[in-house]
Structures are given as structure tokens and as C-alpha cells.
């Protein structure tokens, strides 16, 4: 029996969390070649102040001059042994029912992600029934 490639799970990381569902859902929502799969990393500048350092106790201190460097942070997700995240039920423009996904991070961050990236109108609700949306990328 052959596996359905669209039924495989795929996680999309975004600032503040991640959302996991099937490849079929992401293709139906974002299209077959979505730009969302080409994330942009965040660049952070770290500044270290000048300070003194003692290598051996009792020896004189040496002065270390201040410096700066940059870190590049790609979007990441939380790992866990069990299925991590909270279940949501999604609906979007043109879908024929609810789609299930798992969210790590806040629902607010997910709403910001959909508002910035979804070409279709999307809404979702938690397992308890709290509704969020609609969200759509403005053109």
C-alpha cells in the first residue's frame, strides 16, 4: 500500500510558535509552491560592555574591550516526546469542512501569522470552542 504524500505532517514555524498539520492542508491554504516555506531569519545584535577579567586568582586583572556581534535566529518549534501543542480546528475560504492542526505558542501569535501570510480568509477555534479570526493577508 502506498503512502499518501499529502497526508504527511509538516510544521511551519513562525515568530512566537509553530503550527503542524498535513501537507495537503498547507497546499490547499497557501498553494503548491508557497513562499511561506522560505522563512526569513531574525538578526539580533549583541553588545558586550568593556570589563576586567582575572584569569588566575591573585593575579592582576586585564581589561577586555567592548565588542558587538550578530546572531541569526531561524524560526524554531518546541520539541516533545508526545504530540506537542494544542489542537485547533481551522476553516478557510474554499474548504469543505474543518481541518485539524496542532499549535505551539499562543493563539494570538498564530493569528498574526495568518494575517501576514494567508492568501485566503482563515478562521480557527480551540478545542474549547473559542473562535479566532477571520484573518487574511492584505494586498
**Global pTM value:** 0.69
β pairing state of 86-92 and 67-73: unpaired
Q: Residues 62, 107: one domain? A: no
Q: 34: which residues sit within 8 A by CB, 6+ positions away?
A: 26, 27
pLDDT, one tens digit per residue, over 55-97 is 999 999 999 999 999 998 777 766 655 556 789 999 998 888 8
Residue 53 has which C-alpha cell? 577579567
pLDDT bracket for residue 49 (50, 70, 90): very high
User: Which domain range does residue 54 map to?
Assistant: 42-73
Specify the higher pLDDT residue, 38 or 116. Answer: 116
Q: Residues 114, 130: one domain? A: yes
Q: Residues 117, 84: one domain? A: yes
- Name the domain boundary from 26, 51, 73: 73
Q: Residues 113, 123: one domain? A: yes
Residue 83 has which C-alpha cell? 504530540
Q: Is the dihedral of CA 103, 24, 98, 81 positive or negative?
A: negative
Q: Residues 116, 79: one domain? A: yes
Q: Residues 112, 100: one domain? A: yes
Q: Residues 66, 82: one domain? A: no
C-beta atoms surrounding 21 within 10 Å = 19
Find residue 86's DSSP bridge partners: 103
Instruction: Indicate the number of domains in the chain.
Output: 2
Amino acid at each position: 500500500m502506498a503512502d499518501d504524500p499529502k497526508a504527511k505532517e509538516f510544521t511551519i514555524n513562525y515568530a512566537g510558535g509553530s503550527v503542524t498539520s498535513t501537507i495537503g492542508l498547507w497546499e490547499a491554504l497557501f498553494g503548491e509552491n508557497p513562499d511561506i516555506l522560505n522563512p526569513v531569519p531574525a538578526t539580533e545584535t549583541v553588545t558586550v560592555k568593556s570589563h576586567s577579567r582575572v584569569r588566575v586568582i591573585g593575579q592582576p586583572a586585564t581589561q577586555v574591550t567592548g565588542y558587538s556581534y550578530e546572531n541569526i535566529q531561524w524560526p524554531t518549534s518546541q520539541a516533545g516526546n508526545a504530540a506537542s501543542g494544542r489542537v485547533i480546528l481551522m476553516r478557510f475560504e474554499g474548504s469543505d469542512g474543518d481541518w485539524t492542526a496542532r499549535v505551539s505558542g499562543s493563539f494570538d501569535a498564530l493569528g498574526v501569522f495568518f494575517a501576514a501570510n494567508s492568501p485566503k480568509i482563515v478562521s480557527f477555534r480551540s478545542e474549547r470552542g473559542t473562535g479566532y479570526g477571520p484573518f487574511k493577508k492584505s494586498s
